[in-house]
Amino acid sequence: MRKTILSIVVAMAFCATFLPAQGRSGGGQRGAAQGPRTTMGQGQQQGRQVGSAAGQVIRQQDRDRIRATDQQRDRLRTCDQTADQIRTQAREMARDARAPQFNADQARQQRDQIRQRLETMQQEHAQLMTGLSTEQREALQNRIQNMDQIRERVNTQLQQVDAELAQNNPDAKLVRERARDMEQSMKEWQKQYRKMQSDMGAGA
């Protein structure tokens, strides 16, 4: 009986000594496993920050590479302002075509003013495009293509206005719709000029 009791006491003492040591060992292993994960997370975050900074440097380098000359800056500003004037005239033309007594002669005068300013702007635009360097043209290729498409659309819309106003009794509704279309196109064209100004570091 005494031997049995002694055996139980020895077994309990062994468990009390061995199990806590094993728990501490397991916890140490878990702590060691968690350490590298924290370090890797910090490394990834630092990597993203460095990559973002590098991207900003590259964009700034591109902007410096295609920066506008003083002459290009002036032409961009002139085209922007003229586009805004044409847009305003087209809006006024659409508004006047709403009047109960549509005045076809007044609409023709407005059309002539729009054509004159549009021709002036397109001449300035052509000189701007001619003066671009090879690097500028390559970097702004998409912007230039968008402008060419808008220019063709505006010319088509002006021709449609011409055709309607050539009638003895022009349809005020059609004149109004074409003028609205032209206003929207000039808004898009002006937006392209302002984006080009930003691309070339020429301001807004």
pLDDT in tens, 57-78: 446 667 678 999 999 999 999 9
Is 19 inside a domain boundary? Answer: no
Give the mean model confidence (pLDDT) for residues 47-53: 50
Give the mean model confidence (pLDDT) for residues 85-95: 97
State the pTM of this model.
0.69
Number of domains in the chain: 1
pLDDT > 70: percent of the chain? 69
Give the mean model confidence (pLDDT) for residues 103-107: 96
Is 113 inside a domain boundary? Answer: yes
Give the mean model confidence (pLDDT) for residues 23-50: 50
Is 89 inside a domain boundary? Answer: yes
Q: At what angle do helices 104-130 and 141-165 cross, to 10 degrees?
A: 160
Enclosing domain of residue 113? 63-199
Is 102 inside a domain boundary? Answer: yes
pLDDT of residue 20: 47
Q: Dump pLDDT digits (tens) for 120-133.
A: 999 999 999 999 99
Domain holding 138: CATH number?
1.20.120
Is 98 inside a domain boundary? Answer: yes
Is 79 inside a domain boundary? Answer: yes
Query: What are the C-alpha distances in Å from 188 to residues 68, 127, 150, 161, 202?
Result: 21, 20, 8, 19, 19
171 sits in the region (left: phi over 0; alpha: psi -120 to 50; else beta) called beta
Alpha-carbon gap, residue 119 to 145, rounded angstroms: 19
Is 109 inside a domain boundary? Answer: yes
Q: Dump pLDDT digits (tens) for 111-162.
A: 999 999 999 999 999 999 999 999 999 999 999 999 999 999 999 999 999 9
Q: What does the angle CA 65 – CA 67 – CA 72 come to, to the nearest 5 degrees?
A: 140
Is 25 inside a domain boundary? Answer: no
